[in-house]
Amino acid sequence: MYEKLFEQKAIGGVVAPNRLVFEPMGNYYAELDGSVSQRDIDFYVERAKGGCGIVMTEVASINSKTGRGNARNLCTDDDRFIPGYKKMADGVHAYGSLLFVELYHPGCQGIAPLNGGSMASPSGQESELIHMPSHAMTLEEIHATVQDFVDSAVRMQKAGVDGVVLHAAHGYLLCEFISSYTNHRTDAYGGSIENRVRIIKEIVEGIRKECGDYPIIVRFSADEYMREIGKDGGMVLEDAVEMAKLFESYGVDALDVSAGNYETMNWAWEPTGFDEGWKMHNGETIAKAVNIPVIACSVIRTPQGAEEFLKRGVDFVGSARQFFADPYWGNKVKEDREKEIRKCISCLNCMETLMAADEENGIRCQCTVNVEGGEECDLLPLSKDGNNRKVVILGAGPAGLETARVAAERGFQPVIFEKSDVIGGQLNLANKPPKKDKITWLIDYYQAMMEKYGIDVRLNTEATPGLIAAENPYKVINAIGSSPVLPRAIPGLDQAYILTPPDVLTGACQLRDKKVCVVGSGMTGIETAELLQEQGNTIELYEMADEIGPGLFFQNLIDVMGRLAPGGCKFFPKHQLLSVEEHAAKFKNLENDTEVVANYDYIVVSLGTRSNAISEEIAAAYPDMVSIGDAAKSGRIRHAIEGGYRAAVAL
């Protein structure tokens, strides 16, 4: 059905078996010395096995002394790294796919303390996102950096890697050279477009000299979207077309079209507010301008979106997050198992965890919907020793559904009792605010899994000791979720005009032209406010913490605030709700210790959730019952899915 996706296509002298590219994705999986880890190998090989014709590694540093991205960043600047890449290449080749290593230097977006105290960049301009000291490179430094790229390519060729990607996107060093936003040089490496791309020309010439026709891909941001944050300069599509033609004339084998830099990160790896296909025009325009293959990404999640992209002229469909979320996307499409695809919901937990990753907290890049992502080395293969033993799961939210899915895959027979008439639990609330419809994909995925494994899902059925006993279960899992908290310490929250987010999100209470106060600016509070605003209400959002959206990942906060603020919502951080009486909410302004009173038609209290209590009889009858997800502790979707996965693995 999607024939084009599975056509072969050459890049230079190598042939990719299909048009699916696992784009580079920083992950914090390498060994501390920069060498390839078993975690890396299993991670990339899984993507090849699942049907990505081309697998690209994360950013690999061409200079581990001046250009590391983090403490567990792949490096390419020493021959001792070659055997690791060889193993990785062999693993990817075993599934008929190609491996490309992405060569990079972070430039001014690097962490200075990791890299000798000052980051090299074309003009010494600091990144306004991370503010690290940076210096303008001398000509000697530029020449040495060119040589580092070339030497790295030589090593990759020796390792049997199929080619290299020169990373000139996302505001890193090569991007800084080609971008008018960061390159203010007046020598041969700055000014005109030709001058700005000179460093790439020299790298390509160097690689050609040392490695012959070894495949080279240039990945670059066709648009840095600086105008979106009110700034001038930077890459725009018109210049990108010129550059693409130059890259082609230098003998580059393919282009990989991306967008953005750190300051415009939401246009590079997009939060949920961006729809599939929104930047297809960038790839399409570049593809029309050159005669070499063009890879491009654009929040591609569905086979229809991917096929459309190819029809519009790009040669390869790229995605990092989709193939992180489901490495088997390609095989599923090819085998007509489209409904089984687990789509990326653009929640950016991957980027949030990557940025938080360090040795002390043990965090590394992780996916909300795919617990195995990055953990293949420890979690796969699943043992299939369920032997049809029954597992009773209480609750069909994401935790319970994931338990059932994995248990079924292991050969257990799950039975789910769900008191409502639908599966998905709170996913059915999370998908209601504007731009959150991607969450519905997750519900659909679990529905498909329930059907695939023939899982016995008993809707409209609250579990009783008798119902559970009738199944004679090997194990009982408690995944009954959580409910909103209305703190008793705050007087007046028992009035009819006091609502919780589910009242709004389920549509049980539909408001219009009302003055509504939302108390609590966690993601649920903010998104409920957004929905209410969209429905035509006037919103004031209160938060006790110093800032709106405490603890939220900044990319998601920027995304939702970008819609909420222009709609007129007023924000009151540092305000604690004291009481409500006769539609009047009384707050304490924590900054100046004064009291503020305001009248509202409705007050939505979004102060978190508390685990639902399991019946005492059930708990007594099944003392080894395991509680997971919100039933154990309120958390995000990843917490629920991980709880479900691990409970099923532990059966």
**Interface residues with ligand FMN (CB under 6 A)?**
23-26, 58-59, 102, 167, 169-170, 219, 258, 269, 297, 299-300, 319-322, 350-351, 354, 365
| For ligand FMN, the closer CB: 323 or 587 | 323
Q: What is the DSSP letter of 21?
A: E
Least Å distance, CB 206 to ligand FMN, is 21
Please pick, among 28, 29, 44, 172, the residue that the annotation labels catalytic: 172
Residues 6+ apart with CB under 8 A from 457: 396, 404, 416, 418, 423, 450
**φ/ψ (deg, to 5) at 236:** -130, 160
Tokens of 265: 């990160």
- Whichever of 115 and 528 has its CB closer to ligand FMN, that residue is 115
Query: Cα–Cα distances in Å, from 183 out to 66, 107, 190, 224, 351?
Result: 19, 12, 6, 14, 27
At closest approach, how far in Å is the CB of 407 from ligand FMN? 29
Residue (of 299, 266, 301) closest to 282 by Cα position: 299
Instruction: Compare residues 203 and 354 and give the one whose CB is closer to ligand FMN.
Output: 354
Instruction: Specify the residue, 267 or 572, whose C-beta has the smaller distance to ligand FMN.
Output: 267
Minimum CB–partner distance for residue 221 and ligand FMN (Å): 9
Q: Which residues pair with 603 in a beta bridge?
A: 498, 517
What is d(CA 181, CA 231) in angstroms, rounded to the nearest whole number?
A: 9
Least distance in angstroms from the C-beta of 349 to ligand FMN: 9
Q: Name the residue type at position 206.
A: G
Shortest spacing between CB 251 and ligand FMN, in angstroms = 21
Query: Cα-flanking dihedrals φ and ψ of residue 229, to 5°?
Result: -110, 20
User: Going by C-beta distance under 8 Å and a sequence separation of 6 or more, which residues neighbour residue 506?
Assistant: 428, 429, 432
CA atoms within 13 A on the CB side of 506: 11
Q: Report the SS3 class of residue 8.
A: coil
Alpha helices (H) along 94-135? none
Let me know if 151 is exposed, middle or buried by CB neighbors in 10 A (0-12, 13-18, 19+): buried
User: 103 or 605, CB closer to ligand FMN?
Assistant: 103
Shortest Å distance, C-beta 593 to ligand FMN: 42
Residue 41 contacts residue 338 (beta carbons within 8 Å): no
Closer to ligand FMN by CB, 24 or 502: give it: 24
28 annotated active-site: no
Enter the tokens of residue 254: 């393919």
CA distances from 329 to 53, 88, 313, 465, 643 (A): 12, 21, 21, 40, 24
Residue 205: closest CA among 137, 159, 149:
149
Whose Cβ is closer to ligand FMN: residue 11's or residue 297's? Answer: 297
Q: End-to-end CA distance of the chain: give it in Å, rounded.
A: 39
| Minimum distance from residue 165 beta carbon to ligand FMN (Å) | 7
Closer of 22 and 181 to ligand FMN (Cβ): 22
Two tokens, residue 347: 């929640």
Which CB atom, from 226 or from 365, has the smaller least distance to ligand FMN? 365
Residue 16 burial (CB < 10 Å; 0-12/13-18/19+)?
buried
Nearer to ligand FMN, 188 or 356 (CB): 356
The whole-angstrom separation of Cα 351 and Cα 269 is 9
Residue 261 is classified by DSSP as B
Token pair 């996913």 in the structure block, residue:
427
Q: What's the Rg (C-alpha) of the chain?
A: 26
Cis peptide before 381 (omega within 30 of 0): yes
Whose tokens are 């160097």? That residue is 206
**Least distance between ligand FMN and beta carbon 25 (Å):** 4
Work out how close the CB of 78 gets to ligand FMN at its nearest, in angstroms, rounded to a whole number.
20
CA distance 49 to 422: 34
Q: How far is the CB of 4 from ligand FMN (least distance, A)?
A: 18
Give residue 190's identity as a one-letter amino acid code.
Answer: G
Q: Known catalytic residues?
A: 172
